[in-house]
């Protein structure tokens, strides 16, 4: 059973958001890393880039495929996770902790309301 | 989508199923990386029942096959196989396959799943033009035939438990472990006759087993049971692809197609020019003499970059670089931990140590042309 922390918000496309003030940290869910398996390469957006909610702005690659990562919310990229670039396996082993991908300064906090709760995301992945 | 006789076994083992050439096949059971390492270090079991089997028999079968295929059938005796190619009149590859001599006047062709009907049509058309055509019988037994590959350094330790000897046909051996590379013999397993060859598509020691479809699940289960204490794991198409890419075995539709010749693909070793005329032979002989304009090369990424994937551009290096080719196969090498691949480039870029660049999502990263195979087993 995939781990879905209750305190996070989720996108249907399997990214999570952790909010601290106006800074949103974004990564991929435990379910997503399990489906991808063996992450071998991570490409992250440039710091300073403005991204829109739903915009493809990172790539996570497994042995088999490259998967686009969509930002669940819009804002300015203020930090990216160099540890995950250096050691992509962190996305598999600690998807909600050291395997985070990038941080945004939120442009429109109201966008968070459009995301799924842990309960709803769990229901989505349980439904297949 | 078509399913192999092992479909239920894959579902039971939790295999993740994908579409491959019209077949519903497991891409992995646990992870591509785990299954790849299992094959390199111990053993892996693959379902290859989707592949095609065609029997060619009769007094003129040898002559017919020698004219249809590139390798020299004359080098085969009962119990021996060879890698060979079926080419069109221009030397383009219709399929790459394994040809086994099972007995005098009896041959087995193992062909790619996606090419079964094309191969059959080609062979039938060549047979219609063949002067001694009453002396050859072709039979496509793909539907009623299953096959598995059991690969890895530990396999020799348990294969004999599954197929007790002595062999009944083919190579005269006491047991499967006595088969040499490319030899094949018939054994008995659970009341069905099975052909066991010492061949594979992984670069490891191993065996391939061809059996009637109704018997293949019992063989699969028997191998899993006997191999488990030796570290055998079921392995999917994902690791089959990474394993074969590391050792630079071509995959039809990637490195090979009807516009590509065996000479360009570096498979000249499997084209015999001293056996007499064969289909595509004239063009291939000329190309070999003149040298092809492009060649298949293997490469390794030399900087941290996205893993190469099929159709990514290959560029000459530097600011004035131009696109010189496309990646045919590419992946992150589980054994080496770097991006690797193969692709066709103009001959001036085909020498080993040549620096090239691979373009992923608009960004180019440096790679170096390396000798084949890319991965060589440590001694």
Contact, B145 vs B212, CB < 8 A? yes
CA gap B301, B357 in Å, rounded: 8
Q: What is the pLDDT of residue A128?
A: 66
Place A127 in a pLDDT band, splitting at 50, 70 and 90. Answer: confident
pLDDT tens per residue across span B197-209: 999 999 999 999 9
Instruction: Tell if the CB–CB gap between B32 and A62 is shorter than 8 Å.
Output: yes
Q: What is the pLDDT of residue B147?
A: 98
Q: What is the pLDDT of residue B377?
A: 86
Instruction: Tell if the CB–CB gap between A40 and B332 is shorter than 8 Å.
Output: yes
> Chain B interface, mutation test: which of A37, A64, A65, A67, most B Cβ atoms within 10 Å?
A64
pLDDT tens per residue across span B40-97: 999 999 999 999 999 999 999 999 999 999 999 999 999 999 999 999 999 999 999 9
Angle ∠(B319,B341,A101) on CA atoms, nearest 5: 75
CA distance B16 to chain A (A): 9
* Nearest chain A residue to B363, by CA: A43
Contact, A11 vs A72, CB < 8 A? yes
B32 at interface of A, judged by CB pairs closer than 8 A: yes
CA distance A15 to chain B (A): 21
Proportion of chain B above pLDDT 70, given as a percent: 100
Residue B21 is given by DSSP the state T
Res B269 pLDDT > 70 = yes
> Chain B interface, mutation test: which of A33, A35, A38, most B Cβ atoms within 10 Å?
A38
Place B174 in a pLDDT band, splitting at 50, 70 and 90. Answer: very high
B27 at interface of A, judged by CB pairs closer than 8 A: yes
Proportion of chain B above pLDDT 90, given as a percent: 97
> Chain B interface, mutation test: which of A35, A40, A67, most B Cβ atoms within 10 Å?
A40
Instruction: Tell if the CB–CB gap between B332 and A37 is shorter than 8 Å.
Output: no
Q: What is the pTM of this model?
A: 0.95
pLDDT tens per residue across span A57-85: 999 999 988 999 999 999 999 999 999 99
Residue B290 is given by DSSP the state H
Instruction: Enter the ipTM.
Output: 0.87
Stretch B269-294: mean pLDDT, rounded? 98
Place B176 in a pLDDT band, splitting at 50, 70 and 90. Answer: very high
Stretch A39-65: mean pLDDT, rounded? 96
> A49: which residues sit within 8 A by CB, 6+ positions away?
A57, A76, A77
B272 at interface of A, judged by CB pairs closer than 8 A: no
């Amino acid at each position: 059973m995939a781990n879905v922390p209750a305190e996070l918000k989720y996108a249907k496309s399997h990214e999570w958001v952790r909010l601290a003030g106006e800074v949103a940290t974004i990564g991929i869910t435990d379910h997503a890393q399990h489906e991808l398996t063996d992450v071998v390469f991570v490409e992250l957006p440039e710091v300073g880039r403005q991204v829109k909610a739903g915009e493809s702005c990172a790539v996570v690659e497994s042995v088999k495929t490259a998967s686009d990562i969509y930002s669940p919310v819009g804002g300015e990229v203020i930090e990216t996770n160099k540890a995950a670039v250096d050691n992509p396996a962190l996305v598999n082993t600690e998807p909600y902790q050291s395997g985070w991908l990038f941080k945004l300064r939120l442009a429109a906090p109201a966008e968070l309301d459009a995301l799924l709760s842990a309960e709803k995301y769990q229901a989505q992945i349980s439904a297949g | 989508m078509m399913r192999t006789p092992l479909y239920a076994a894959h579902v039971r083992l939790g295999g993740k199923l994908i579409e491959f050439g019209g077949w519903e096949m497991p891409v992995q059971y646990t992870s591509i990386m785990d299954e790849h390492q299992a094959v390199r270090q111990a053993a892996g079991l693959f379902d290859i029942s989707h592949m095609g089997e065609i029997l060619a028999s009769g007094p003129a079968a040898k002559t017919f096959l020698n004219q249809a295929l590139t390798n020299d059938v004359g080098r085969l005796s009962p119990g021996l196989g060879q890698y060979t190619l079926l080419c069109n009149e221009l030397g383009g590859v219709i399929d790459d396959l394994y040809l086994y001599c099972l007995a005098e006047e009896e041959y087995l062709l193992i062909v790619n799943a996606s090419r079964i009907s094309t191969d059959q049509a080609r062979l039938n058309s060549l047979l219609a033009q063949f002067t001694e055509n009453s002396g050859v019988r072709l039979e496509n037994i793909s539907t009623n035939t299953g096959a598995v590959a059991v690969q890895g350094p530990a396999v020799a330790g348990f294969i004999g438990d599954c197929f007790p000897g002595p062999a009944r046909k083919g190579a005269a051996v006491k047991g499967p472990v006595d088969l040499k590379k490319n030899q094949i013999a018939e054994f008995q397993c659970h009341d069905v006759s099975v052909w066991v060859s010492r061949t594979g598509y992984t670069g490891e020691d191993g065996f391939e087993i061809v059996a009637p479809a109704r018997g293949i699940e019992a063989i699969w289960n028997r191998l899993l049971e006997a191999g488990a204490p030796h570290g055998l794991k079921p392995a999917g198409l994902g690791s089959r692809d990474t394993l074969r890419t590391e050792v630079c075995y071509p995959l039809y539709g990637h490195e090979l197609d009807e516009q590509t010749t065996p000479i360009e693909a570096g498979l000249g070793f499997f084209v015999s020019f001293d056996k007499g005329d064969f289909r595509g032979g004239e063009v291939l002989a000329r190309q070999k003499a003149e040298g092809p304009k492009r060649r298949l090369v293997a490469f390794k990424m030399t900087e941290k970059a996205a893993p190469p994937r099929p159709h990514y551009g290959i560029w000459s290096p530097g600011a004035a670089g131009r696109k010189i080719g496309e990646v045919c196969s590419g992946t992150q090498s589980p054994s080496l931990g770097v991006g690797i691949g193969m692709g066709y480039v103009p001959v001036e870029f085909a020498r080993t140590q040549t620096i090239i660049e691979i373009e992923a999502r608009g960004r180019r990263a440096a790679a170096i042309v390396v000798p084949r195979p890319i991965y060589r087993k440590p001694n």
